[in-house]
Structure 1
């Protein structure tokens, strides 16, 4: 495959100026039919997870039109490398003049070049999202992983039997060699908890890839070596996705990353760990500057924001440029929908290589810290090793977050993220280097229990999934309620709309409303709730 790729690049080099671009497509067809039959586009686990957290299924869950992709693939001097259903776009590479011609195709809405100097100054972008149980308790001997586990008080969750059991985690990385033969993953394999693999670069199930980075990050969560090492989520189930072509650095890797994130969502993944970051590329015309790190500009940040809205908890490394002149976190660590993790040493002190914040729009990044200097891992043969990098502090937190969420399943991803931040050692005094500090998962869990009780109290009430709203209001309906009456009033008390909702049809179109404040009254039998709705 490596030889084939080299030949492809050679064959493309004989043409004119080569560029990478995102081709945005016109609106998808049959969206309503797909949404009404979500099992045709999503796994049942994904549908259940979205329902549990009141995450709407919308047009972004509908696949890209494959007919359009086929037409693009048949164009001369244009290569299709990736696609994104969330952004309704295709990542291509080809001659500049040939890419420009694509604008004339009936299904092409717009083109965004990755070389930003080729874009029109006012290029429009899609609007992006802003923002009593019996446990299986095990007696763990953490060995060399003890310090990195105790630093965040994770052993207290493990002592309660919260070890990731039932949680699905996806790891997106550069490659995972020797997984099935590595004794560190014998129980993962034998217990059927390695749920799937996919290589988005080579389009195969073989995720060998290049290097050992992916295997190392996996070991931090899933590794198990008796009396020597225990990962942070040793009983979770895992998907392994390769999204990196290590011999080169090109923004197409971000497009593969978003594809993998979309796959994770469709599979119902709970937590994603990605110890990857993008900022500098082989061709400087694609490089990101500080002004691009606003959490909404880069391909991966845009994808991460949608992934967050879809209900997943996305954890990523901050980067290792703390001692560089440009020492800001890489993307997608700048995304507000991502929990970004910096590195400390074994004493909990800031590791000088750890990238820092803030983002260009002034947000705190990294979010929290974990041990990333002399982090204990298991190598590809299952032997103990110690490594440096935020690549390894990230999976420490990702595994811990999975254990926390296992114990607080009714909470949303945003609530889990907030709880982790709020438990940070520097929450009241965050810094550019340390963010909110080192989290304490014992206190996080205790506070989460109180939040869960509050959530459970309101389970017999109606809710709304999002507010302010743009075109529709999505209502959550208590268990056992089949239908309800909805009335909308303006601020003067005048009724302007009356309709009904059901469990399967819980959306109300308000696109005809003027911008402003409205009151929604929802009633079913003796249950009645009212909400202030802000229409954008």
Structure 2
């Protein structure tokens, strides 16, 4: 009798969850060579230009999923396709276990990964909790209370120098954006046409403002782009934004990870510079889908793997560390656990650790969180156009992301990894980091001044090439300091195809053998780095 009882208890996690979620991975893609040879067919020109500027390869991950495979899956009995990912060459499906298992018989299905890890032969059960719980804290409005969160990062000095995020594009992945299309707090963005577009990946429609189950995304956006004269200024009031709803605030299910990855892919194809994500995933309503703290290693969660790819594609991914510092979970969640994600913890108005801010763990690939910003009683604009005060790393992340957008306007030559480095190096405890505050509170104006001082050294080193466009021979003039250094010739896919050393202050190079198209000349030395676009006719 005791054995029967134990079996019944073992089955309890599955009762009421007859539908399973899974990721179905495909074997291949179609027309890969043609797509890579003609990247404008799969990416916008803005995206191609950003990748070219940063030396980011366009590769097979940029090629779309084979739509005929998806169509075939949709015809299978009991299968619903909820999301797709070109980076993973996969789709997220829902159905009964037997229906999903039957997909393995399809010749184009490479593998299936169930969200219920018991079905993958490794259990990871945990208790569900509400990740939004306890973050809202409305207080009497006080004019100017948005100032502290900006001053803490020295953002106002960037604004005084007219660096307000102009020309920097941010994708906001969140739970809902009601009011952004109508309230005064976003009138400045609307008047300047800085809301570039959006999509609701949960409800699958273009109206990102329609769903009102959560105003979380509205508040998050306000920390970057909100503006009420005399009352509130976001840290990047002149940046441009795409708004993507990927979070269903009414439930917790791993399909939200798939929505997030799909939105990140959309952001990459649009040429976005920064992703701000004030979302995190640890445990689910169906505990069979839940992660354990040991899974927060940066390489287990689907969303963390996707976030790393987004960063590899040249996007600066900023993510909230999480609000679990005071509960049993405690540590940074996914995707903030990913190595290439810039994870943001929280402090109070005087810079002390916020009790709820998720902490780092030795199991994670690098020190987490990376840095911190104000997350206790952060000023935000809600969907009623009221300035209220909320707690959460949900707000420290966009406060910093907007500051980085303003800084990036001043330093457009930097790529995402370089930007993360200078922000870390400017932080208050860069030399003595810990698991609570990471490297500390950044000083973004100091990051600007320090980088400009380094550029003064680089400005003494000159290099130029002509003619450009070139047909047969290229002439390179350069400062004597560069003699002996190497120049790499890199194609549009990021592949090095040729390298040569600089031997004198003027050098003539035969490029007649190069195919027509766009290339990069890249030189790197301890004190000088430069990439030059070259058009071969």
TM over 0.5: yes
Q: 2-side partners of 1:39 and 1:481: how far apart?
A: 23
Contact kept, 8 Å, 2:308 with 2:341, in 1: the verdict is yes
Contact kept, 8 Å, 2:59 with 2:493, in 1: the verdict is no
Q: 1-side partners of 2:448 and 2:196: how far apart?
A: 28
Contact kept, 8 Å, 2:379 with 2:388, in 1: the verdict is yes
Residue 330 (str. 1) matches residue 336 (str. 2): no
Contact kept, 8 Å, 2:57 with 2:493, in 1: the verdict is no
Summarize the Cα distance change of 1:458–1:118 in structure 2 as closer, same or farther, 3 Å threshold.
farther
Summarize the Cα distance change of 1:245–1:155 in structure 2 as closer, same or farther, 3 Å threshold.
same
Partner residue in 2 for 1:424: 427
Report how far residue 332 of structure 1 moved.
0.4
Partner residue in 2 for 1:59: 60
The higher relative CO (CA closer than 8 Å, separation ≥ 6) is in 2
Instruction: Provide the TM-score with structure 1 as the length reference.
Output: 0.81
Summarize the Cα distance change of 1:193–1:101 in structure 2 as closer, same or farther, 3 Å threshold.
same
Q: 2-side partners of 1:270 and 1:447: how far apart?
A: 22
Secondary structure, counterpart of 1:87 in structure 2: coil
Summarize the Cα distance change of 1:479–1:99 in structure 2 as closer, same or farther, 3 Å threshold.
farther
Residue range with higher mean Cα deviation, 27-36 or 69-78: 27-36
Q: 2-side partners of 1:480 and 1:522: how far apart?
A: 22
Summarize the Cα distance change of 1:155–1:479 in structure 2 as closer, same or farther, 3 Å threshold.
farther
Partner residue in 2 for 1:49: 50
1:153-172 equivalent positions in 2, closer than 5 A: 153-172=154-173
Summarize the Cα distance change of 1:383–1:106 in structure 2 as closer, same or farther, 3 Å threshold.
same
Partner residue in 2 for 1:307: 310
Contact kept, 8 Å, 1:357 with 1:365, in 2: the verdict is yes
Contact kept, 8 Å, 2:490 with 2:522, in 1: the verdict is no
Partner residue in 1 for 2:495: 507
Q: 2-side partners of 1:483 and 1:354: how far apart?
A: 59
Report how far residue 381 of structure 1 moved.
2.2
Q: 2-side partners of 1:484 and 1:110: how far apart?
A: 50
1:214-243: CA deviation from partner (whole Å, max 9, x where unpaired): 100011111111111100000011111000
Task: Pick the aligned partner of 2:407 from 404, 407, 421.
Answer: 404
Q: 2-side partners of 1:322 and 1:483: how far apart?
A: 62
Q: 1-side partners of 2:461 and 2:86: how far apart?
A: 34
How many residue pairs match? The answer is: 464
Contact kept, 8 Å, 1:318 with 1:329, in 2: the verdict is yes
Instruction: Provide the TM-score with structure 2 as the length reference.
Output: 0.81
Report how far residue 363 of structure 1 moved.
2.3
Residue 526 (str. 1) matches residue 508 (str. 2): yes
Q: 2-side partners of 1:37 and 1:175: how far apart?
A: 36
Q: 1-side partners of 2:37 and 2:319: how far apart?
A: 34
Contact kept, 8 Å, 2:47 with 2:270, in 1: the verdict is yes
Q: Structure 2 unaligned runs (5+)? A: 1-13, 123-142, 475-487, 510-520, 526-537
Secondary structure, counterpart of 1:526 in structure 2: strand
Report how far residue 531 of structure 1 moved.
9.4
Report how far residue 245 of structure 1 moved.
1.1
Summarize the Cα distance change of 1:377–1:65 in structure 2 as closer, same or farther, 3 Å threshold.
same
Q: 1-side partners of 2:459 and 2:48: how far apart?
A: 21
Residue 181 (str. 1) matches residue 187 (str. 2): no
Report how far residue 520 of structure 1 moved.
5.5
Q: 1-side partners of 2:300 and 2:50: how far apart?
A: 28
Partner residue in 1 for 2:193: 192
Q: Structure 1 unaligned runs (5+)? A: 1-12, 122-141, 463-476, 486-499, 510-518
Contact kept, 8 Å, 2:40 with 2:48, in 1: the verdict is yes
Q: 2-side partners of 1:388 and 1:478: how far apart?
A: 57
Partner residue in 2 for 1:73: 74
1:466-514: CA deviation from partner (whole Å, max 9, x where unpaired): xxxxxxxxxxx997566899xxxxxxxxxxxxxx9675576368xxxxx
1:128-161: CA deviation from partner (whole Å, max 9, x where unpaired): xxxxxxxxxxxxxx92211111111111111111
Report how far residue 190 of structure 1 moved.
1.6
Partner residue in 2 for 1:86: 87
Task: Pick the aligned partner of 1:239 from 238, 242, 256.
Answer: 242
Secondary structure, counterpart of 1:331 in structure 2: coil
Q: 2-side partners of 1:257 and 1:428: how far apart?
A: 34
Secondary structure, counterpart of 2:118 in structure 1: helix
Secondary structure, counterpart of 1:73 in structure 2: helix
Task: Pick the aligned partner of 1:221 from 213, 221, 224.
Answer: 224
